[in-house]
Amino acid sequence: MAAATLFEKLWQRHVVHEPEAGPPLLYMDRHLVYEVTSPQAFEGLRMGKRRLWRPQTVLATADHNVPTTSRSVGIIDPLSRIQVEQLSRNCKEFGVTEFGLSDPRQGIIHVVGPEQGATLPGMTVVAGDSHTSTHGAFAALAFGVGTSEVEHVLATQCLSVNPMKPMLVRIEGALAPGVTAKDLILDVIGRIGTAGGTGYAIEFGGGAVRALSMEGRMTLCNMAIEAGARVGLVAVDQKTIDYLKGRPYAPRGERWEQAVAYWRTLVSDEGAHFDRTLEIDAALVQPMVTWGTSPEMVQPIGGQVPDPAREPDPVKRSGMANALAYMAIEPGMPIKAIQPDKVFIGSCTNARIEDLRAAAAVLKGRHIAPTIKLALAVPGSGLVKAQAEAEGLDRVFTDAGFEWREPGCSMCLGMNEDRLAPGERCASTSNRNFEGRQGAGGRSHLVSPAMAAAAAVAGHFVDVRKEFS
C-alpha cells in the first residue's frame, strides 16, 4: 500500500459512500452537542418524527451561555436560560447523555470530550462548533459543522464532507522555557495568515510537537481553525495512550489492548505526500501577543505594533489601519506598552489544568496591578476545577486578586454575563480577537496563560521569561 498521511488513513476508514457527483459520505463516531447549535436540529427531528440513529455516540453539555458565578441563582438572561433548559429537555426526550449544570463533569465541550475519553484516536468527531478541531490532538478526524448538519448526524450518523488536502506543519527543535503551545500556534498563524490553512487538514508534527503534553497539543489543534483549516491533527504516540488510559469512555481490558494496537498505526507513513509543508524552528518562537482584530495580527512580546504605511498590499494595509483604529493603538508602539483593563484566563484553548498551573506559577506570591479592573480564572470543566482546587491553585488565583469561577466559555465570547464593556482592553487566553468578540466595543489581545498572568501583575504586557522567571 502506498504511504498515507494520518489524515488519509482517518478519512478512508470512514467513507461509507462515494457518489458520482458531490462529496463523499462519512460515518461519524462521536457527536458532541451543546446548547447553541442544537435546538433547531432537535426541533427538525421532532418535526420529521425521527429518532437518533445511535444516541449512545452523543454527549452533551451546556457551555456558551452558562453563568460562571454561583449556579444556585440560575441563569438570569432569559434567552440563555431557555437555550440551556431546552438542551436538557432535548437530551431527555431523545435519550442523550447530558452533563447538566450541577454535574461536576459539566464544562466546555472541547475540554469535556477528551477528559472523558469520549474523544479517541481513529474516531471521526463532530460538533456544531468550529473549535471541534481541538480533538484532532488525539489523531481523531474532528471538525465543526452547522446546525443542519448537526441534525443530519443525529438522524443518520453520516455526513457529506468536502475533501481536504493534507498539510504538514513540522516544528523541530525545542521551545524555550516560558514559550508554550499557544505562542507556537500564534506564531504559525502569524506566518501563514488566517487563510493559510484553507482547504487543508493540518497535521502538526516534529520533535517540538512530540514534546508537548496532550493539553498543549489540544491548544495547537484548537486554533487550526484560526489558520483556516477545519481540521488539526497530531499523530498517536505513547502520551496519547497514557492520557486516555482509564478515562470513563475509553475501552477497557482486552478491547483496550486491541484499540491501542490500532491507534499506534495512526501516524503519517514515512514518505507520505503532503500538499503543503511548513517548517518551523521551535527555538525561535517567542511569547506572542496579538495587537489587532484577527489572530494573524500578532507580534512577539519584544516587538512593536506594525505600521500600515509599510504594508505593500492595499487590502492588508486598510485592514491593519482599521484594526489599529478599533484597538486604539498606534503604529510603532512597543507591545509591552499595551495595558489591559481586564484579564481572562479560560476558554477551550487554554483552560485545562496545565494552563491553570502555568498561570498560577506566575501569580504565586504576587498580586494583580491596581489598574486591572477584573481578572477571571475560569476552568474548562468541573473536573479541571476540582483538580485545580486539590492543588491549591484556586487560592493562588484569589490571593493574587483573580476571581475563581465556575466552568464555561465565559469571557471568550459575549454570550453570557462575562463581557468587556465598550473600549475595555483584555489580555485573553482565548482564540479569537474579532471586533466585539468579548463584548461590543471590547478589545482583545490573545496570549498564553503565563503571559496573561504576567500582564495582570505588571498592568501591561511583559516578557514572562524575563520578568517572572
Ligand X SMILES: CC(C)[C@H](C(=O)O)[C@@H](O)C(=O)O
CB 97 within 8 A of CB 76: no
CB-count burial class (<10 Å; 0-12, 13-18, 19+) for 73: exposed
Among 38, 106, 130, 299, binds ligand X (CB under 6 A): 130
By a kind-dependent CB cut-off of 5 to 8 A, residue 108 interacts, out of ligand SF4, ligand X, none, with ligand SF4
**What are the E-state strand segments in 225-373?**
231-233, 276-281, 288-290, 298-300, 342-345
Beta carbon of residue 427, minimum distance to ligand SF4 (angstroms, whole number)? 16
Residues 110-139 that bind ligand SF4 (CB under 6 A): 110, 129, 131
Give the closest residue to 114 by CA, choosing from 258, 10, 255, 213.
213
Interface positions, 404-443, toward ligand SF4 (CB under 6 A) = 409, 412-413, 430-431
290: nearest Cα among 215, 363, 349: 349
Say whether residue 33 binds ligand X (CB under 6 A): no
Is 36 a binder of ligand X (CB under 6 A)? yes
Q: Three-class SS of residue 4?
A: coil
Strand partners, 140: none
Identify what 36 binds: ligand X, ligand SF4, none; CB under 5 to 8 Å per kind.
ligand X
Residue 413 lies near ligand X (rule: CB under 6 A):
yes
Amino acid at 45: L
Nine cell digits for residue 151: 441534525
Question: Least distance in Å: CB of 37 to ligand X?
Answer: 5
Number of residues that bind ligand X (CB under 6 A): 9
Nearer Cβ to ligand SF4 (201/411): 411
By rule CB under 6 A, what string of x and - marks binding of each residue 81-110 to ligand SF4? ---------------------------x-x
Q: Does 142 bind ligand X (CB under 6 A)?
A: no
Q: Which stretch binds ligand X (CB under 6 A): 16-24, 126-134, 194-202, 247-255?
A: 126-134
Binding to ligand X by residue 144, rule CB under 6 A? yes
Cα dihedral across residues 442, 448, 451, 457: positive or negative: positive
C-alpha cell at 201: 487538514
SS3 assignment, position 459: coil
Which residues are CB-neighbours of 238 under 8 A, at least 6 positions away? none
Which of 9, 64, 230, 445 is in the footprint of ligand X by CB under 6 A? Answer: 64
Q: Which helix (H) or strand (E) holds 143?
A: strand 141-144
Binding site for ligand SF4 (CB under 6 A): 63-64, 108, 110, 129, 131, 347-348, 409, 412-413, 430-431
Q: Return residues touching ligand X (CB under 6 A).
A: 36-37, 64, 129-131, 144, 413, 432
